Structure 1
Amino acid sequence: MPMQATTTTPLFSAQLTPHRSLGKRGGMLLFGLGTSLAVLPGLAVVAELPWLPVIGLMLADIVAIGLTLFLSLRTGRRREQITVWSDQIEWTATNAKGTKVLRRFDPRTVRLQLDRDADEKTTTIRLRNGKDELEVGAFLAADDKSSFAKALGTALRKARAA
């Protein structure tokens, strides 16, 4: 379905992107692969191993490092665009492969639902319209979710008042 052009300015618009980092697991994997890359030549000298298998292992290690970086940073290409107008809410999600999903809601019927932990930090932001439910910004950090939920809630109140 083609997107229609609008001449009005939205009440709220935000593009959400995940934090591009390796995470604890990816960092540990990268550290281990880098350490093995550094240790292999010394091990070959001390153990008097033939150099051809050592060079092969080093090349395999370099490929594994590249693959680790590629796979762990690929999620950084995800995007969520949420735009609030007085008559509709438009949510567009783009996954890591580039596939887009568009959903629209009526701001008068949609409800913003927040889940919080014991410390009152926002853990989940959902838009609920009857039985239809959509989680927004699942990849955001807790602090980012809190500030985004506050801004989105304010925009929804403005849209309902308009």
Structure 2
Amino acid sequence: MPYEWLPPSTTGGAQAELHLWPYRSLPKKGFVTFFGVTFGMVSLPLLAVVGSPILWGLLPFVAVVLGGAWWALQRNYRDGSILEELRFWDDKLTLTRHNPRAPRQDWEANPHWVRVHDYGQEGRIEHYLTLKGGPREVEIGAFLSVDERRALLEEITAKLNEIRRPVPQDR
């Protein structure tokens, strides 16, 4: 799944920390393979015209195709570099969204008042998840699949219930 709960030793004092990111269907190794195969397939027809003036007429178009594919895939990687960090403390809950081409977005609320809302079929997307606690309602994991958002709803709700439980006092 494109999210993970970090172990408590790495959370910097928080009780729990969750990182979410978009799914990558083409990893960097796959990008290299795809680009190498594309380069080979586009260059193969040029072998027939090597040594003739036609090569120089076709070469700019081949360069535009390869350059465009390179630029489009790199842009896709940059746009997909979203990271959402949800941190749980006893007295606060923070959500930080690192956007690729926009400023960082921060949200904070008291975990005792935070509610996770699932819009089901009525939201912008199916099973659209939001956190509400304080003056703002913020989305979380909109880039996840429907099944991943359902699982995330259960996990966040369980973590909030765990934090809200009163700690037994020694008498």
Equivalent residue, structure 2, for 1:27: none
- Structure 1 outlier segments of 4+, above 4 Å: 6-9
Task: State which drifts further: 123-132 or 52-61.
Answer: 123-132
TM-score normalised to structure 2 length? 0.69
Q: How many residues align?
A: 141
Alignment of 1:14 with 2:18, yes or no, is: yes
Is the contact between residue 18 and residue 140 of structure 1 (CA under 8 Å) also seen in structure 2? yes
SS at match of 2:25: coil
Report Cα offsets for 1:45-74 as digits up to 9, x if no partner.
5xx872112011111111011011111222
Alignment of 1:41 with 2:42, yes or no, is: no
TM-score normalised to structure 1 length? 0.72
The runs of 5 or more residues in structure 2 that have no matched partner are 1-10, 27-33, 167-171
Is the contact between residue 113 and residue 127 of structure 1 (CA under 8 Å) also seen in structure 2? yes
Alignment of 1:148 with 2:152, yes or no, is: yes
The runs of 5 or more residues in structure 1 that have no matched partner are 1-5, 23-29
Aligned CA-pair RMSD: 3.0
Equivalent residue, structure 1, for 2:97: 93
Give percent identity, aligned residues only: 22
Q: Which has the higher strand share?
A: 1
User: Distance in 1 between the 2:45 and 2:67 partners?
Assistant: 15
Sort the Cα spacing of 1:8 and 1:72 in 2 relative to 1 into closer, same or farther, 3 A. Answer: closer
Q: How does 1:1-162 map to 2 (within 5 A)?
A: 8-10=13-15, 12-21=16-25, 34=38, 37=42, 41=46, 45=49, 50-97=54-101, 99-117=103-121, 123-129=127-133, 131-162=135-166
Of structures 1 and 2, the one with the larger relative CO (CA 8 A, separation 6+) is 1
